[in-house]
Every structure is written in C-alpha cells, then in structure tokens.
Amino acid sequence: MAALLCKRALWLLPALLGLSALSFALIHLIPGDPVQAMAGARGLDAAEHARLLHQLGLDLPLPLQYLRYLHGALQGSFGVSFFTHNRVLDEFLQRLPATLELSAAAMLLAVLLGLPAGIVAALQRGRWPDQLLMGACIAGYSLPVFWWGLLLMLGLSVHLGWTPVSGRLSPLLWVEPGSGFLLWDAWRSGDAQALRDALWHLVLPAVVLATVPLAVIARMSRSAMLEVLGADYVRAARAKGVSPRRVVWVHALRNAMLPVVTVTGLQVGTLLGGAILTETLFSWPGIGQWMVQAIHLRDYPVLQGSVLLVGLLVLLVHMLVDLSYALLCPRILHAA
C-alpha cells in the first residue's frame, strides 16, 4: 500500500506544474484590464495606470510573471487578491467548506440513487424499468445545469414555494461561525430550526448538481453488473443453488464496484465544474461563485490560485480512488 501511495504521489507535482502553466496562459487570454476593472467608472490617467501596473507586477513579461507566481506557489503562497487585498489561500479556505458541503450532498445523492438504479436496470434488462431508468439517465445527463436549475427554481421555489430560492440560510436566522460547514455548526449549536432551514436550502442546489453524476453512475453500474452477471463464477453460484439475492449482493456487486468506484471518483471534477454554475445560480457562497466573481473582476491571483488548489483537490481524490482499488481488488497491490 505504501509503495502504491508513493508512486501515485510522485505524479502530483508534474500534473500540478502542467495545470499551473495551462491555467496561467488561459487566464491571461481573458480580454480586459485588471487595473481598469479596479478603477471602475472613474477611469485612470496614463501615469496612474502605469503605476498600478508596476505595483501589481503586470508590466513584467508573461514568462517572468509565471515564474514569480510559480515561486510563490511552491512556497505555499498563492498571491494576494487585487481587490480584497486578502491572501488567496485564506479566501479559498474560507469558501471551501460551502463547496464541500454542497458537493458531498450531491455526491451522496448521486450514489444513493444512481447505484440502485443501475442494479435494478441490469436485473430488468430489456424490460420497461430498464428502459425507463436509462431514458431518465440520458435526459438527466443531457440537461444543461443552468437550464435545469432555473426550471426547478421556477417550479419548486417560485410557483410552489416548497424550497428556498437561494443562499445557505434564511436572513432571519443566524448560526455562529465555526467550522464553515453550516450543517455541522447548526447541529452543534443545538438550533433545530437553523438546521432544518440549512438542510432545506441545500436540497435544490444538491439535486441540480447531482443530476449528471447520478446519470453517469447509474449507467456505469448497469454496464458493470451486466458484465459480472454473465461471468462464469456467477453462473456457477446459481447452479449451486445460491439464493438470487446473495448472488447479486455478494458475488456480483463487489466485483462490479471497481469501475463504479472509478467513475465516481472521476465525477469529483464534474461536481466542482458544475458547482461553478450551480453556486452562481443559487447564490451559494462557495468557490464556484468566488471564481466567477474573479473572472468578472479580472482578479488574476484569485483565478490562478483557485484553479491550482481545485486541481490539487481533484488529484488527491483520484489518488484516494486508486488506493481504494487495493481494498476492492487486492491483486492490484501485487500488480503495482
């Protein structure tokens, strides 16, 4: 296990280096001037504009700007925001719990619904439950996140009034900040009303964000189960008189979980990408909304630091997925 962990960890540095170079190049292709964005409508004369460019280091050649940024990142400093003048890492850590809370709720929903849906579809192959579930998965995967979110918001929040429109908590309620995870802080405070309100605010964004991962997990679960159910050892178990339930849940499911775990880990990147639209749509104060604001303001340090830190999170999750293979299939340890 330790050898596998070291081997996977060695890939982190070149992957992050490539991500930093690509993100730096793409961010500087965004049209607009950060100094003019800071000035707003009042504008700047040429001398003041040149002074601010020099102060921010934006008058340096791009390769030199990248090397300065890379030097700071290797030391754990991801720069200072042009607008708030706060350290990028501090702002990232402040907003990270909101995004993790939303992403965890969405992933939990996707797994709890997607895995049983895939198993049922595999067991009912070719019948109407299979066609209904897979048709719903194709529709869910095809729906644009912003359109699906607006549709649910219009129907459930505006017309029916079942769910809140936006935010994490109603304006009349307050939870003392602690960990940043609102559900945990509300539970620790003993405020049942705030906990219910926070859960109710979480429902709609989590459903919207979970739609695509749910569809992917369900389809992968179906494919993996169909492949395993046709294997020789499953047919042998049935021939020995093993109960159908034991065949499915003991003999088939464990061996079908390997590709499901793989695709579930890969959905972390999809969740964080979808969180950008979802958080903006529902005014969720997480990393996604923060990055969108940085794009509008041309806040280069925030954009560069957030992309690199999010990339690091995704790579760490993928490494954990690789390690989980060893628990599901010990042969991988010997192959590694």
Instruction: Give 70-80 pLDDT, tens digit per residue.
Output: 877 777 777 88
Q: How far apart are CA 159 and CA 150, in angstroms?
A: 12
Backbone angles phi and psi of 80, in degrees to 5: -125, 135
Structure tokens at 142: 């095809």
CA distances from 27 to 54, 98, 202, 290 (A): 19, 25, 31, 15
- For domain 97-276, the CATH architecture is Orthogonal Bundle (1.10)
Measure the CA–CA gap between 79 and 91, rounded to whole angstroms. Answer: 11
Quick one: which H or E segment has residue 68? helix 62-74
Confidence of residue 214 (pLDDT cuts 50, 70, 90): very high
Ordered by start, the domain boundaries in the chain are: 97-276
Pair 277, 265: CB distance under 8 Å: no
pLDDT, tens only, 48-70: 778 878 877 777 888 888 888 88
Closest CA to 65 of 103, 34, 97: 34
Q: What is the pTM of this model?
A: 0.82
DSSP E strands, the chain: none
Q: Which two tokens stand for residue 162?
A: 């079942």
